[in-house]
C-alpha cells in the first residue's frame, strides 16, 4: 500500500451552500479508499458535478452514463492507484443487513467508508495506524483466553 495523498485540490473556497456542504465529504471519501493520488479533481469541480447529477432524474443520469461524453460526470482518474492492499481479506468481510443505516452510519457511508466496520479492520493496520497505547491494549486483550476466539465481526 502506498502512501495516501488527498487528490481533491482544496484551494478553492467551498462557501456555505448546501451543495458545498454535501460535497465537502468527497475529498475524505476518496481519500478513505486507501490508495495513492487519484486525479486533480478540484473541489469546485466536484461541487459542479454533484449539482449536475442532483438536477437530473436518475433515468436521465443513467442514460448519460452510456456515452463517453455523458459519463465524464462520474469520471475520476484512477490510473495512479495501486491495487495492492485494496482487497479485503475474506474473513474480514461481513454481510450487510438490508435494514436502514442509522444517521451516524450513513454519514460514514457518505464519506466513502464502510458504515459499520472500521477501515483498519477491513484492510489491515497499514491503512490506519492506531495509536501506540491502543495497540498495546489490544495486544493485552488478545492474550486473554476469554477473547481468544473473537472474530472481527
Partner 1 sequence: MPPEVSAGYAQRAMNKAETAWVEIKIDYMTVADALYWDRTIQADIVADGIREMMAGRPMPRADLYWTWTGLRVLFPLAQRLNRRRCRALSVFVENDLGQGVPAGMVLLIEQYPWLFPLQAPATESTFLWFIASAPRESLIKRGVEDPPPLGRILIDTALVTSSALGHEGQMWLHAAPAGGARLIGFYVNTCKLRQLGQGAQLPNGIGSDGRHCYASAVLATRLIDELQLTR
Q: Which residues bind partner 1 (CB under 8 A)?
A: 18-19, 22-23, 25-26, 29-30, 32-35, 38, 46, 49-54, 57-59, 61-63, 65-68, 70-71, 73-76, 78, 81, 83, 86-101, 106, 109-110, 112-116, 119, 122-123
Q: How far is the CB of 13 from partner 1 (least distance, A)?
A: 18
Q: Which of these, 73, 71, 10, lies nearest to 42 by C-alpha position?
A: 10
Q: Please, what is the Cα angle at 110 between 6 and 19, to 5 degrees?
A: 85
Helix (H) or strand (E) holding 108: helix 103-110
What's the chain's length in residues? Answer: 153
- If the CB atoms of residues 52 and 137 are measured against partner 1, the closer one turns out to be 52
Judged by beta carbon, residue 141 or residue 152, the one nearer partner 1 is: 152
Q: Which is nearer to partner 1, 44 or 93 (CB)?
A: 93
Minimum CB distance to partner 1, residue 47 (Å)? 9
Residue 151 to residue 121: CA distance in whole angstroms? 10
Residue nearer to partner 1 on the CB measure, 1 or 144: 1
- Quote the DSSP letter at residue 42: E
27: nearest Cα among 55, 50, 57: 50
- Residue 125 C-beta: closest distance to partner 1, Å: 15
CA nearest to 119, candidates 31, 45, 55: 31
- Measured from the CB atom, the residue of 66 and 131 that comes closer to partner 1 is 66
CB of 88 to partner 1, least distance (A): 5
Backbone φ and ψ for 71, nearest 5 degrees, come out as -75, -5
Amino acid at each position: 500500500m502506498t502512501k495516501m495523498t488527498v487528490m481533491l485540490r482544496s484551494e478553492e473556497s467551498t462557501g456555505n451552500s448546501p451543495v458545498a456542504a454535501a460535497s465537502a465529504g468527497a475529498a475524505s471519501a476518496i481519500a478513505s479508499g486507501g490508495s495513492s493520488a487519484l486525479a486533480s479533481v478540484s473541489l469546485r469541480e466536484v461541487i459542479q458535478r454533484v449539482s449536475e447529477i442532483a438536477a437530473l432524474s436518475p433515468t436521465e443520469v443513467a442514460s448519460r452514463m452510456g456515452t463517453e461524453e455523458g459519463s465524464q460526470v462520474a469520471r475520476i482518474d484512477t490510473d495512479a492507484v495501486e491495487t495492492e492492499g485494496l482487497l479485503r481479506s475474506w474473513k474480514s468481510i461481513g454481510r450487510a443487513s438490508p435494514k436502514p443505516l442509522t444517521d451516524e452510519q450513513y454519514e460514514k457511508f457518505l464519506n466513502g467508508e464502510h458504515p459499520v466496520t472500521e477501515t483498519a479492520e477491513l484492510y489491515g493496520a497499514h491503512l490506519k495506524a492506531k495509536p501506540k497505547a491502543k495497540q498495546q491494549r489490544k495486544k493485552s486483550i488478545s492474550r486473554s483466553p476469554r477473547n481468544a476466539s473473537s472474530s472481527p465481526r
